[in-house]
Amino acid sequence: MNKVPEFLDMDALRSFVAGIDAGSFALAAQHLCRSASAVSAQLKKLEQQCGTALVMKKGRHVQLTRSGEQLMSYARRLLSLNDETLRAVKGEALQGEIRIGMQEDFGEALMPAILGAFNRQHPDVMLTARVDRNLPLLTALARHELDLALLWQAEQQAGTQLIGQCPLAWIQHPAFDLAGYLQRGEPLPLVAFDAPCVMRSRAIEALDKAGIPWRVVFTSHSLSGIWAALQAGLGITLRTRAGLPETLVIESHRLPMPGYLGIALARSDQGDDPARALLQHLITQAALPFVQR
């Protein structure tokens, strides 16, 4: 007799995903209208089925183990497919309104493809979009002016889903004379956003630790201004490869390694809206190519 294959419980998977998104399984229990003990029992059941620990405590929050990260990727897809299947069988169409924000680095690279495809497949969902910097997006989320926002995350924050770590890079025009500045000991000209900016702070910190003098020669409110200044050869900047123009290059040998920066998807609330859940899944999958594997 063939052995009956094991299957993962959809309710347990939903509690698992909700707990990580909320940063706490106690908060997830409230959002799911279940007791904390019931959600805890579902997590233990998943860990028994997978034969490994899926989460670990980090301060007041929970963090995925390596096995948990792997399961999370499958869990989101399974839940999305489960919900999509039920809607299709029942003849239900997604409806509602979603207000989404994206950090400027992702606006040009991700927003057209994601929102265009979603709008064609689900025309009854009203989409509004905003491209901005991190602080305005976080402020809009706190004021419930946005439902979702894809942004940079310097440290773990409650209510956000960390998609992964993106490597930072020094970016310049090919004709920029970096070697000359270093050889002469002249202050390195930096192109950056106005403060506060996490990448500006990372650049200054890295150069200070390496003992390399610097000066900010150009500041901008927009990413397009940063790219224009680099293409004019005014200096060098610290960003990621997201949205990198083909005319600019990565400097990877003569300056200190700047580390990584998290890509996160933040939500204004933890409501279980099917349209929002599907768009959240699409955004997460689209952002994965930018993440360090």
For residue 52, give Cα distances in angstroms to 43, 44, 59, 64, 122. Answer: 11, 10, 21, 12, 38
Q: How many C-beta atoms surround the C-beta of residue 143 within 10 A?
A: 9
Q: What is the pLDDT, as a whole number, of residue 31?
A: 67
Q: How many C-beta atoms surround the C-beta of residue 15 within 10 A?
A: 25
Q: Which range marks the domain in which residue 190 is found? A: 96-292
Q: What is the pLDDT, as a whole number, of residue 91?
A: 45
Helices within 187-273 (DSSP H only): 198-210, 223-231
Q: What is the pLDDT, as a whole number, of residue 3?
A: 57
Say yes or no: 146 and 279 in one domain. Answer: yes
Examine residue 104 and state whether it is found in any structural domain, yes or no.
yes
Say yes or no: 230 and 141 in one domain. Answer: yes
Domain closes at, from 58, 90, 122: 90
**Rounded distance between C-alpha atoms, residue 23 and residue 59, angstroms:** 11
Residues 165, 261: contact at Cβ < 8 Å?
yes
Examine residue 260 and state whether it is found in any structural domain, yes or no.
yes
For residue 291, give Cα distances in angstroms to 47, 62, 188. Answer: 26, 21, 28
**What is the enclosing helix (H) or strand (E) of 175?**
none
Say yes or no: 43 and 146 in one domain. Answer: no
Q: Average pLDDT for consecutive 10-residue bins of the chain (293 residues)?
A: 66 83 74 80 86 81 83 82 68 73 81 77 83 87 90 70 87 95 94 88 94 94 91 94 88 88 82 77 78 62
- Which CATH number goes with the domain that contains 49? 1.10.10.10
Examine residue 195 and state whether it is found in any structural domain, yes or no.
yes
**Rounded distance between C-alpha atoms, residue 152 and residue 134, angstroms:** 7
249-251: strand order across its sheet: 237-239, 169-172, 249-251
- Which CATH number goes with the domain that contains 155? 3.40.190.290
